[in-house]
Amino acid sequence: MLKYVSCKMSFFTASTLLGYIAIPLAVSLVVFCAFVTSRDVIPVITVPGTFHFYFLNFLVLFFSFNMLFNFICASTFSKRLGTGMTKGVGGWRGCLNPTTVASPETLAELERIASEGLQYNATQRRMRLLEDPKRFCLVCLRLKAPREYHCKVCGVCVCKMDHHCPFVNNCIDVENNRYFFLFIVWLGIGTFLDFTIPGYAYLTQRRYEQRVEALLYSRRGPQSVRAPYGAKGAQLTTFPVFLALVFTGTIFVCMLLFLYTGGRAMLTNTTLIEHAVVEDKIEYVYQSTQYAYRSPYDLGPWRNVIEMFRTPGDPVVSYLLQEERATPLRLQSFAQYCRLVWCRVLTVGWVALPPTLRPADHDGMHYPTFDSEIRGESEEMRLVVS
Ligand SMILES: [Zn+2]
Ligand SMILES: [Zn+2]
């Protein structure tokens, strides 16, 4: 038993320690790849001072900034309601991650949500809250909100917990989910470009060097072989460039997997925990019926994207959503279709492209569901009514 406890403890300690090592490692990886591309590759494959030269350097800066910004935000921000105790979580981890005590209003609201959930029968409960409404956290000593789970590494309950990511040393939750997803997107596109463009130049230069070598040892007379990148081309096959290519290629492949899981979670408004623990169980239960299971929080792919990214009272999002509502439900012409697509492109561009420090539009206790939408409890519905 003691052995099991100490093994478990060392796993969580290792996860926290890995986080402290992983953050500087990830930052230096991004900076190293950007530096090598900018110093060794771009001046060789383009002519310095031309449009291409500045454009490629701008791309390197743009992607590096977006990656680092979203990475730092994902490792900094989180949504926690606090514990029910008068003091924070104890131990050395408690000192490293001081937690706040939940306010009396929060505790009262958690009690209200739980007692409201208990009024429903088992089937309705499953449809509304996914699980037992009166869940109690034995570490934080308070009721858990819907979609809230206790993270053993952070030592606190986390709102809409997705997973604990050792690479950002933080839980991916309702607050930093959007930063984490954007980090993956920028890292995915950035490493793809940083792998393919210098990778092509590396291979071209390598082929040229092999041909020169072959000619040196052949018995044929002197022949001319054109150097694809001139005398500076030798810079392309140095060890730092090779190392940067290995890093970017590996990270790109990993990001493809992360993009798939993150994108699926975003479009269905589920978390990894809900997918693994709750959905699989419910799907199994639903197998014996003719109904298909759908998470009560899944409002449709488009609304789910907005739910993840929106910030409170964003006038641009409200305006674009109103514009979208102005288009009829049944599209009658190609122009209407174009208008809808254009509105959505602008909305996604606005919420995802400019770096923002605005908090997410969630209190960590209430999430819109099918039936709250139908009853007109969400902001959108209120806007339509007024
Ligand atoms: Zn807890
Ligand atoms: Zn955590």
Number of domains in the chain: 2
pLDDT in tens, 76-99: 888 888 888 765 555 555 555 556
Of residues 261 and 382, which shows the higher confidence score?
Answer: 261
Average pLDDT over residues 208-230: 79
Q: Note whether residue 121 is domain-resident.
A: no
For the cut 50, the answer to whether the pLDDT of residue 175 exceeds it is: yes
| Nearest Cα to Cα of residue 355 among 107, 55, 69 | 69
Say how many Å lie between the CA of residue 221 and the centre of ligand 2: 68
Q: Which domain holds residue 362?
A: 273-384
| Nearest Cα to Cα of residue 246 among 199, 201, 197 | 199
Residues 61 and 186 occupy one common structural domain:
yes
Confidence (pLDDT) at 26: 84
CB 106 within 8 A of CB 365: yes
Say how many Å lie between the CA of residue 167 and the centre of ligand 2: 11
Average pLDDT over residues 278-287: 68
For the cut 80, the answer to whether the pLDDT of residue 4 exceeds it is: no
Say how many Å lie between the CA of residue 143 and the centre of ligand 2: 18
pLDDT in tens, 350-383: 988 888 888 888 888 888 887 766 666 554 444 4
Say how many Å lie between the CA of residue 95 and the centre of ligand 1: 16
Question: What 8-state DSSP symbol labels residue 327?
Answer: S
Average pLDDT over residues 104-116: 90
Query: What tokens were used for 347?
Result: 């909305």
Q: Which ligand number lies closest to the CA of residue 136?
A: 1
Confidence (pLDDT) at 382: 40
Instruction: Give me the count of residues in the chain.
Output: 386
pLDDT in tens, 34-80: 999 999 899 988 988 899 999 999 999 999 999 999 999 998 888 88
Q: Which ligand number lies closest to the CA of residue 83?
A: 1
Residues 197 and 251 occupy one common structural domain:
yes
Question: What 8-state DSSP symbol labels residue 83?
Answer: B
Average pLDDT over residues 314-326: 82
Confidence (pLDDT) at 267: 93
Last residue within a domain, chosen from 207, 236, 268: 268
Q: Note whether residue 89 is domain-resident.
A: no
Residue 177's pLDDT band, with cuts at 50, 70 and 90, is very high
Neighbours of ion ligand 1 (CB under 5 A): 137, 139-140, 150, 157
Question: What 8-state DSSP symbol labels residue 332?
Answer: -
Provide the CB-side half-sphere exposure for 270 (13 A, CA). Answer: 18
For the cut 50, the answer to whether the pLDDT of residue 152 exceeds it is: yes
Query: What tokens were used for 205?
Result: 């230069």
CB 339 within 8 A of CB 294: no
Cα(138)–Cα(363) distance, integer angstroms = 22
Say how many Å lie between the CA of residue 143 and the centre of ligand 1: 9
Neighbours of ion ligand 2 (CB under 5 A): 151, 153-154, 164, 171
Residues 247 and 354 occupy one common structural domain:
no
CB 366 within 8 A of CB 112: no
Last residue within a domain, chosen from 237, 268, 299: 268
CB 344 within 8 A of CB 302: yes
Q: Note whether residue 4 is domain-resident.
A: yes
Confidence (pLDDT) at 58: 94
Say how many Å lie between the CA of residue 107 and the centre of ligand 1: 13
Confidence (pLDDT) at 214: 85
Q: Which ligand number lies closest to the CA of residue 15?
A: 2
Mean pLDDT (the chain) is: 82
